[in-house]
């Protein structure tokens, strides 16, 4: 049931009781559905979205989007290269995309030099990778549907009866 998956995607901490109430199903059925989805890989994992820039005393990481042009191969297209790139620990996301490049990857490193080393020593040496374009993230305003900006104060005048 798509509605349950959408609720979990928005908030993985919702209890099965709460979800059952929201979708109008018995708790046992919700438990069974979620368990089946976890076993089959529909639900990959439960996670928190963290604003790391707000964590004091933490070393900052550098995030980059890397667009990759790949020469396709007969029978596999881009899939084998995308799978190989996805295996690197530095890679957070890897998508087949339309446009001027074939793949878009999100890479995280301890600094700009680490990203540079990844591109020059690991990514660009993969067979059929023809070119890359690296875009460094300067600031994160929204990720996974969560806005990191402070909410604006409510300037409305109070109304009393």
> Residue 58 — pLDDT band, cuts 50, 70, 90?
low
Specify which residues 105 forms β-bridges with: 66, 94
Q: Tens of pLDDT along 2-43?
A: 999 988 988 889 999 999 999 999 999 999 999 999 999 999
The domain limits of the chain are: 2-40, 53-139
Q: What is the pTM of this model?
A: 0.72
Burial of 74 (0-12, 13-18, 19+ CB in 10 A): exposed
Q: Using DSSP, state whether 33 is helix, strand or coil.
A: helix
The CATH number fitting domain 53-139, selected from 3.30.70.920, 3.40.50.150, 3.40.1190.20, 3.50.50.60:
3.30.70.920
DSSP state of 37: H
């Amino acid at each position: 049931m798509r509605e349950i998956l959408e609720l979990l995607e928005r908030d993985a901490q919702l209890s099965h009781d709460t979800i059952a109430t929201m979708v109008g199903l018995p708790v046992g059925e919700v438990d069974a559905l979620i368990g089946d989805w976890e076993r089959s890989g529909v639900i990959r994992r439960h996670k928190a979205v963290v604003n790391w820039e707000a964590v004091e005393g933490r070393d900052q990481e550098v995030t980059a989007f890397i667009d990759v042009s790949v020469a396709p191969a007969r029978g596999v297209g881009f899939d084998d290269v995308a799978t190989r790139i996805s295996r690197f620990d530095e890679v957070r996301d890897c998508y087949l995309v339309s446009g001027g490049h074939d793949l878009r990857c999100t890479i995280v490193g301890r600094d700009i030099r680490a990203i540079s080393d990844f591109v020059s020593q690991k990514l660009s040496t993969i067979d059929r990778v023809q070119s890359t374009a690296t875009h460094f993230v300067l600031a994160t305003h929204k990720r996974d549907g969560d806005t990191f900006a402070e909410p604006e104060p409510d300037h409305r005048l109070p109304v009393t009866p």
